[in-house]
Chain A
Amino acid sequence: MATQAPVAIRTRGLEKRYGNNVAVQPLDLEVRAGEVFGLLGPNGAGKTTTILMLLGLTEPSGGTAEVLGLDPARNPLQVKRHVGYLPDNVGFYGGMTGRQNLRYTARLNGLPRDAGEERISGLLERVRLTEAADNHVDTYSRGMLQRLGLADALVKEPSILILDEPTTSIDPIGVAETLALVRELVQDQGVAVLLSSHLLHQVQQVCDRIAIFVNGSVAAMGTVAQLAAAQQSGAQIQLEVGAYGDAEGVAATLRAVPGVSEVTLDPFDRRLWVVTGEPAVRSRIASALLADGKTPWHLRDRGMELDEIYQRYFQASMAAAAGEAVAADV
């Protein structure tokens, strides 16, 4: 095993049911110090419910959760003292300034007054809100609220940071800054980060490991590379190909390459062809196109990007669920 970083969050068979509805199916999860762990999935897949169970804000229906070695359902205050939480759609008291809002959080965490002030100023600086710090929160944009939320989660100097959809409604520059700040915290202070999102590119950028949630259960868990490798295990690979020249001519050339079993037009980008075949075609395609005078301008392995991995896991799980439903009906 490469790392022996201490475990920050560990769940075993953690589940949540509402009557007959299963919100989270038995979940085994481990997040380590100095790691960014991504919970990925569509809305309603059970990400937020899982987070709330880890904070002791929702009672699990079964299984155990251990946060910093403590059971959040039994010891919520200790857990909440050490876990910074940025909720989905975070809100602040509009009649108070950004600084006053953070001060309130500091006081609720029992931080000494002067140390708290210093920390708050530092955090406001880090999320670029120093200028707006003494304006009423009413005047903040959604993105500013989100950044204030990040500062708020950090006021208590958490050992674990839980971020629920931290980058929705932030502009692209803000997103990059937020993610950089998260990485910095992880590297400098060994904070463990649990991050939920449906924005796949960001997750891919910042997360060490991810879990894909579908319908309350984890369809896949691991690093992006591991998930991609698992997808590519079959004998057939898919390549995206774009080349100059008339479309049908390119397709004919591609079909003629030995080992290619299928060539179809990419339904999402009609300039591209999707080539299915054995792995060896990777090395043959470019030369075949060049030999025919059709210079390739795009050649890429399908399935290495998180959104593609996600799509496939998602489709597979939905199909399995549908199959189960049919079986249950019969």
Chain B
Amino acid sequence: MSEEPRRERPKQRGIKPKGARQPGRSFGRPVEAPTMQVPMVARFPAGWRVIGAKEFAEHLLSIRFLVLIAIMGLVGVAVVYILAGNIRDAAQQIHDSRYANGQPFPVFLILFTFSPGGTNAGFAGISFAGLITLLLGPLLGLAFGFDAISNERSEGTLPRLVSQPIHRDDVINGKFIASLAIVALILGAVMVILAGIGIFQLGVFPAGDAGLRLLAWYVLAVLYIGFWLALATLFSVVFRRAATAVLVVLGVWLVVTFFGGQIATVIANFFSPAGANSTVGQQVNNLNLQLTIARVFPPGLFNDMTSAILDPRVTSLNYSTSSSQAIPTLLPLSQSLLLIWPYIVTLLAMTAACFAIAYVTFMRQEVRA
């Protein structure tokens, strides 16, 4: 086609003509030209690692990170401050109660579960674990996920990023891992501060069972925040504008956290009605159905996990007519974990579902701005 004389025959770098193939097809040429050959790359770098490392570094230097670690730090200090007045009494009381197997209660844990309660305490009346469940966990997840993908779009970096030799899911994976690592860092730091102050306040060191339980709860809390992160990431894929994603995640959080209980009650009353005249069996059925439905919502799920892990006295998470007659005993950590195993699986499944939808949506989306 090009009949113009070429200015200069190019020197070709790493190009070996493969020889004419499939003669016959032509664009007005008698013989088809050979294809340009390049050396195949044997191994590609793991894209998610490169992306994750960059995102992690960027988060660490971001204002967002500073603000959240400040909020979390303040909350931690506030919790300890509020507890300071009455935690010793509470600890003494629990410590003095006797258990069948004679084990001492790991009092250190009440640092994280004790609710000072009181009148008009508001959020200040909630335990640290409760705050993570209701408020701070969703906040952390939202903060590090809501603009994960939409930011790449609005900055115009997405086409450049996905035209590098990486898979498209590397983008989501790398960002998720980086955000999860940041969240784990923040939560870990705050828990260490809290524990440090607690050691002074209570004069007890979180050794043995208490330490392991705290560690287990920490891992589960990171998983729980991971769910919110996955949800926020999903919305950052679905909605092109970060503001929309924030509003939707906030909406989900509000409904699930503050109306989850009511929704569960309404549904339970419909399927398993119980009133003042019902038998005990009916009432228990109704309550258990409520609990089951509430566990569809991650805060309910995580709340149950917290009770089982941070309180070894909890031996069952359902209502039962016989539990009041059970011999009071402390469960070993392995048994507590066994108790909440289905909950962990459910939480992971919900996170995986968010991921799956995010992947599929992202794959089908157009790359261009």
Contact = CB atoms under 8 A, between A and B. Distances in A.
Nearest to B368: A48
B164 A3 contact: no
Contacts of B159: 57, 85, 87-88, 90
Given A87-B156, A108-B50, A6 B36 contact: yes
A2 B2 contact: yes
A91 B15 contact: no
Interface string B357-369: 0000000001111
Contact of A223 (B4, B11, B30, B162): B4
B276 interface: no
Contact of A109 (B9, B13, B36, B164): B164
Interface stretch (A31-39, A123-131, A170-178, A279-287): A31-39
Nearest to B47: A108
Contacts of A156: 164
B155 A30 contact: no
Contacts of B165: 76-78, 80-81, 108-110
Most buried by A among B2, B33, B36: B36
B95 interface: no
A78 B44 CA distance: 9
A90 B368 CA distance: 10
B281 interface: no
Nearest to A55: B163
B41 A80 contact: no
B98 interface: no
Contact of A7 (B35, B163, B166, B368): B35
B12 interface: yes
Contacts of B96: none
Most buried by B among A8, A82, A156: A82
Nearest to A4: B33
A192 interface: yes
The size bracket of the interface on B is 35 or more
Interface residues of A, number: 66
Contact of B38 (A82, A90, A91): A82
Contacts of A87: 156, 159-160, 163, 368
B34 A189 contact: no
Contact of B3 (A6, A32, A223): A223
Nearest to B157: A91
B282 interface: no
B57 to A, nearest CB: 9
B1 A69 contact: no
B367 A57 contact: yes
B10 A85 contact: no
Interface string A31-61: 0111100000000000010001001011000
A204 to B, nearest CB: 13
B10 A68 contact: no
Given A85-B160, A109-B164, A186-B10, A95 B58 contact: yes
Contact of A225 (B4, B38, B61, B164): B4
Most buried by B among A58, A108, A110, A152: A108
A78 B7 contact: no
A32 B15 contact: no
A91 B155 contact: yes
Contacts of B15: 6, 33, 159, 190
B156 A6 contact: no
B89 interface: no
Contacts of A96: 58
A28 B27 contact: yes
A196 to B, nearest CB: 12
A69 B36 CA distance: 7
A281 B302 CA distance: 90
Most buried by B among A81, A89, A105, A192: A81
Nearest to A91: B156
Interface in B13-49: 13-15, 17-18, 25, 27, 29-30, 32-38, 40-41, 43-45, 47
A104 interface: yes
Given A52-B367, A104-B54, A222 B1 contact: yes
Nearest first, the 10 closest Cβ-Cβ pairs linking A and B are: A91-B156, A34-B10, A190-B10, A87-B159, A190-B12, A110-B45, A69-B35, A6-B36, A108-B164, A81-B165
17 contacts: A2-B4, A32-B36, A57-B163, A58-B366, A68-B36, A77-B41, A88-B368, A91-B155, A91-B156, A91-B157, A92-B160, A95-B61, A108-B47, A159-B38, A187-B8, A190-B10, A223-B4
Given A189-B10, A189-B13, 9 more contacts: A6-B18, A8-B36, A52-B367, A68-B36, A87-B368, A109-B45, A159-B15, A190-B11, A222-B1
